[in-house]
């Protein structure tokens, strides 16, 4: 239940596996500062760190201004690593990513994620993994030259408290999102992070 065509683990799936390509522009500016803005402005009663609408608002700010030229990059040239030990959740996230035009690579464990990370443009990393905690995986990736600046988005449906979110950001993750993920916010975040880290994108 990983790839619509039945491919096994480690297979790179392209966007044409039943997905549609959506056009997205980019917004300049440091991703870190904008993510800090969203995490500090949660409405009363809403858990901080889960503000998809707020993230999307900051990502898309200014995209529709009159006279602004749209800057589109080729998402099919970028692969996103999706790390989750739950097949259904991994497949769901991969479908969201491929719908934006990206290719995907998958991993079930933290060790697999570390081994595959240098091959991709961005990583969506579940925190609750069976072998290594996702935040520890993030720390390891940031300590390696090949993945020191690779965009890392931590996700979790289990560790939803501020303690884990803050620990993830201190481990230099670019975002900490609470599942279920919002497809539009996730793809817009990937667009901006990858373009900021890949000048030639």
Distances (CA, A) of 57 to 37, 45, 89, 148, 197: 11, 19, 25, 27, 21
Pairwise CA distance, residues 162 & 154, whole Å: 13
pLDDT digits (tens, 9 = 90+) for 21-47: 333 333 334 343 333 333 333 444 444
pLDDT of residue 54: 45
The dihedral formed by the CA atoms of 135, 141, 143 and 148, expressed in degrees to the nearest 10: -120
Task: Output the pTM of the full model.
Answer: 0.68
- The token pair at 39 is 């995490």
pLDDT digits (tens, 9 = 90+) for 115-164: 999 999 999 999 999 999 999 999 999 999 999 999 999 999 999 999 99
Neighbour tally for 111: CB within 10 Å? 14
Closest by Cα among 73, 106, 58 to 196: 73
Question: Is the bond into 180 cis (omega within 30 degrees of 0)?
Answer: yes
Are residues 43 and 85 in contact, defined by beta-carbon separation less than 8 angstroms?
Answer: no
């Amino acid at each position: 239940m990983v790839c619509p065509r039945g491919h096994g683990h480690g297979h790179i799936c392209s966007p044409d596996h039943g997905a549609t390509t959506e056009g997205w522009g980019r917004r300049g500016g440091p991703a870190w500062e904008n993510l800090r803005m969203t995490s500090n402005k949660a409405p009363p009663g809403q858990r901080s760190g889960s503000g998809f609408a707020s993230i999307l608002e900051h990502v898309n700010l200014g995209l529709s201004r009159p006279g602004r030229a749209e800057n589109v990059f080729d998402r099919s040239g970028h692969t996103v690593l999706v790390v989750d030990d739950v097949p259904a959740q991994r497949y769901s996230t991969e479908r969201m990513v491929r719908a934006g035009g990206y290719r995907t690579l998958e991993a079930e464990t933290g060790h697999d994620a570390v081994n595959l990370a240098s091959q991709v443009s961005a990583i969506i990393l579940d925190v609750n993994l069976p072998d290594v905690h996702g935040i520890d995986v993030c720390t390891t990736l940031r300590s390696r030259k090949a993945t020191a600046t690779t965009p890392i988005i931590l996700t979790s449906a289990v560790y939803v408290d501020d303690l884990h979110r803050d620990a993830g950001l201190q481990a230099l993750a670019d975002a900490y999102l609470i599942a279920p993920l919002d497809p539009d916010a996730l793809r817009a975040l990937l667009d901006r992070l990858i373009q900021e880290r890949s000048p030639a994108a």
